[in-house]
């Protein structure tokens, strides 16, 4: 079955790196995603990675994928107060262009300490 797990909370100091982890169970995942949700707001697509890649970097964001262990992580360098939000890991198991939705983790609340 489909299951995506994340820690519920992560607290980091401003300026440090944040690493948010996620594990998934479905080995047929095609894409894995990170979404950000600020309080009272919608979901913002941050980045995503194809399942045959093991790393993707985009400015302060680094995504690492260990397909063998079914582990995905999001590293945010130089964490700022504006990074305070809930971060959702999600997987897509359907074919590209198909109508399958995403399976989300329960979200990690990132708390920034001054």
Partner 1 sequence: DTAVSQTPKYLVTQMGNDKSIKCEQNLGHDTMYWYKQDSKKFLKIMFSYNNKELIINETVPNRFSPKSPDKAHLNLHINSLELGDSAVYFCASSFRETQYFGPGTRLLVL
Residues of this chain that interact with partner 1 (CB under 8 A) are: 30-31, 33, 35, 37, 41-45, 48, 50, 86, 88, 92, 96-104, 106-107
What end-to-end distance do the CA atoms of the chain give, in Å?
A: 40
- Residue 106 CB, nearest distance to partner 1 (Å)? 6
* Residue 9 or 16 having the CB closest to partner 1: 9
In angstroms, what is the minimal distance from the CB of 38 to partner 1? Answer: 11
User: How far apart, in Å, are the Cα atoms of 93 and each of 10, 24, 33?
Assistant: 27, 11, 12
Beta carbon nearer to partner 1, 76 or 89: 89
The DSSP output letter for 95 is P
């Amino acid at each position: 079955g489909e299951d995506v797990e994340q820690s519920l909370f992560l607290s980091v100091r401003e300026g440090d790196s944040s690493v948010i982890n996620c594990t998934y169970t479905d080995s047929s995942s095609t894409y894995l995603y990170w979404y950000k949700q600020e309080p009272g707001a919608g979901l913002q697509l941050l980045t995503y990675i194809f399942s045959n890649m093991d790393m993707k970097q985009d400015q302060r964001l680094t995504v690492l994928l260990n397909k063998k262990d079914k582990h995905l992580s999001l590293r945010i360098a130089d964490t700022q107060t504006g990074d305070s939000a809930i971060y959702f890991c999600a997987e897509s198991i359907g074919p590209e262009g198909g109508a399958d939705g995403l399976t989300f983790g329960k979200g990690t609340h990132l708390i920034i300490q001054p």
